[in-house]
């Protein structure tokens, strides 16, 4: 928005200079041409970004075989969330279905806490829609393997399902996301939790039951 206002200001200034003098000086012509070039460049960049987003969405839909399916009742997703988790008490518990921009998402989530540690689990059904999957699991179309002194980020597989894992040892926080049946996304976020317990939280969700939901 600021860039567009800048362009309009340049064009307006160039026009005002011409109106005052009645003719264009070389400097005025240069200013006008610069404004036109900048505007054209921004339009092209915007088009490239839109094209890239569309291509990414197609790639995500390719994971689902190009098939878009009705989403599962969010209450069925909610039933997969355990009441307790490794002795941690469930402190949040909700589910919903949301429709937007021509697609629908079902979602269920819960949070568990104990001794300053917190784990949040989210289960979402995208119905295999590319744009929805792109926003939640763009990592599913790429390969990541990064190690640092403090932790790691990597794509892998959990029980045959594509996954993304991230963990920082200093703060004991991390995330594991799993793409199930080319439509469901299970995400575990951990704060002040050991790496092994973060993995156990994923194991608490029966991925086979999730894949077989109808």
Mean pLDDT to the nearest integer, 165-173 = 96
CA 72 – CA 96 distance, rounded (Å) = 11
Mean pLDDT to the nearest integer, 198-214 = 94
CA 48 – CA 69 distance, rounded (Å) = 29
Rounded to 10°, the helix 26-63/130-137 angle is: 100
CA distances from 69 to 64, 104, 129, 130, 170 (A): 9, 10, 8, 11, 41
Calculate the average pLDDT of the chain: 79
Per-residue pLDDT tens over the stretch 21-65: 445 555 555 556 655 665 665 566 555 655 544 554 454 455 444
Topology, domain 74-211: Protein Transport Mog1p; Chain A (3.40.1000)
Q: Is 116 left (phi over 0), alpha (psi -120 to 50) or beta?
A: left
Q: pLDDT grade, residue 6 (50/70/90)?
A: very low
Task: Give the pTM.
Answer: 0.69
């Amino acid at each position: 928005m600021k860039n567009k206002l800048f362009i309009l200001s340049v064009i307006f200034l160039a026009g005002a200079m011409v109106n005052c003098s009645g003719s264009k000086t070389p400097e005025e012509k240069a200013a006008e041409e610069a404004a036109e070039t900048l505007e054209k460049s921004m339009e092209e960049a915007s088009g490239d970004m839109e094209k890239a987003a569309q291509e990414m969405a197609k790639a995500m839909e390719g994971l689902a075989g190009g098939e878009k399916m009705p989403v599962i009742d969010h209450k069925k997703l909610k039933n997969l969330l355990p009441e307790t988790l490794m002795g941690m008490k469930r402190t949040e518990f909700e589910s919903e279905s949301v429709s937007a921009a021509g697609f629908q998402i079902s979602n269920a989530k819960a949070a568990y806490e104990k001794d300053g540690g917190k784990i949040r689990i989210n289960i979402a059904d995208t119905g295999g829609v590319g744009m929805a999957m792109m926003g939640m699991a763009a990592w599913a179309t790429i390969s990541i393997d990064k190690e640092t002194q403090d932790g790691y980020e990597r794509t892998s597989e959990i029980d045959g399902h594509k996954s993304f894992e991230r963990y920082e040892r200093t703060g004991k926080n991390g995330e594991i996301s799993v793409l199930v049946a080319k439509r469901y996304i299970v995400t575990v976020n951990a704060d002040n939790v050991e790496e092994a317990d973060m993995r156990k939280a994923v194991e608490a969700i029966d991925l086979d039951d999730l894949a077989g939901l109808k």
